[in-house]
């Protein structure tokens, strides 16, 4: 035995020493546990809160072909009631048709297009409008095809006008549309200029519009390497592909 050759006094001293060492060890472990717990509390306090992932939703703003036919009807009625003049009626109609068929951004593009650009487009066998880089939100120069119904609406508006004159009376139409408060048929919203582009996107899904042609004309989703390094559609090909999908689309006026 460990304590056989030890005197009682030495045994007591040894046991006291061992008990003291044991107690010190217990206190050290307890202290370390307390420090760990405190450290965890501090870490939890200063840990960056996890951001809850938002639910992915599709837009609840639905824009249909019937909505634009309704807008065109309201324009005609406004002219008939002498609320707007004949030239304004032609302007508003052309702007609506161009925006709906091409999906160009209202403020960064449509507002800045000039008469000269349309004259040049109409002179081509396959009419495509060349949008300059400073007329596009992402500063991408591109071509957009002119549908026959757009051409029909544009022709009365280019004769006798200066090339650098803005093509559309954008501000006048925006104010008129706000005043008229035209209700959309499939959603609880009123028509705004942004619906022109939204229609092109949504109706493009209906007719199965080629994704590459759509992305190029709308300059939407074209920031990848394949666009910056590889793709460069020619104007005649832009027109041909576009008309394969949009040629049969016609707004009843």
Q: Would you mind telling me the total number of residues written for the chain in this entry?
A: 253
Q: Tell me whether residue 22 is in a domain.
A: yes
Alpha carbon distance 58, 236 (integer Å): 34
Please check whether residues 149 and 209 belong to one and the same domain.
yes
Residue 68 has a pLDDT of 94
Domain extent, residue 37, equals: 9-44
pTM: 0.78
Q: Count structural domains, the chain.
A: 2
Please check whether residues 126 and 186 belong to one and the same domain.
yes
Helix 170-180 × helix 86-102 angle, to 10°: 90
Q: Tell me whether residue 53 is in a domain.
A: no
Which alpha helices (H) appear in the chain, and where do they start and end? 8-46, 65-80, 86-102, 115-122, 148-158, 170-180, 194-207, 211-218, 225, 235-246
Please check whether residues 134 and 182 belong to one and the same domain.
yes
Over residues 28-51, the mean pLDDT reads: 61
Over residues 158-172, the mean pLDDT reads: 96
Please check whether residues 26 and 111 belong to one and the same domain.
no
């Amino acid at each position: 035995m460990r304590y056989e050759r030890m005197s009682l006094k030495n045994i007591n001293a040894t046991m006291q020493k061992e008990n003291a060492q044991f107690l010190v060890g217990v206190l050290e472990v307890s202290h370390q546990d307390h420090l760990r717990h405190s450290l965890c509390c501090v870490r939890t306090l200063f840990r960056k809160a996890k951001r809850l992932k938002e639910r992915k939703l599709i837009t609840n703003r639905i824009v249909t072909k019937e909505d634009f036919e309704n807008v065109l009807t309201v324009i005609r009625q406004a002219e008939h009631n002498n609320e707007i003049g004949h030239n304004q009626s032609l302007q508003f109609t052309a702007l609506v048709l161009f925006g709906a068929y091409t999906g160009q951004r209202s403020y960064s593009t449509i507002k800045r297009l000039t008469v000269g650009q349309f004259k040049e487009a109409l002179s081509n066998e396959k009419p495509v409008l060349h949008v300059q880089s400073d007329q596009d939100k992402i500063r991408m120069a591109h071509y957009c095809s002119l549908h026959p119904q757009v051409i029909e609406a544009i022709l009365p508006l280019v004769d006798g006008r200066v090339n650098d004159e803005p093509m559309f009376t954008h501000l006048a139409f925006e104010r008129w549309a706000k005043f008229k408060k035209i209700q959309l048929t499939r959603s609880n919203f009123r028509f705004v200029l942004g619906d022109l582009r939204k229609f092109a996107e949504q109706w493009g899904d209906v007719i199965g519009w080629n994704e590459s042609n759509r992305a190029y004309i709308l300059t939407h989703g074209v920031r990848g390497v394949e666009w910056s390094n590889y793709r460069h559609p020619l104007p005649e090909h832009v027109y041909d592909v576009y008309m394969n999908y949009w040629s049969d689309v016609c707004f009843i006026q």
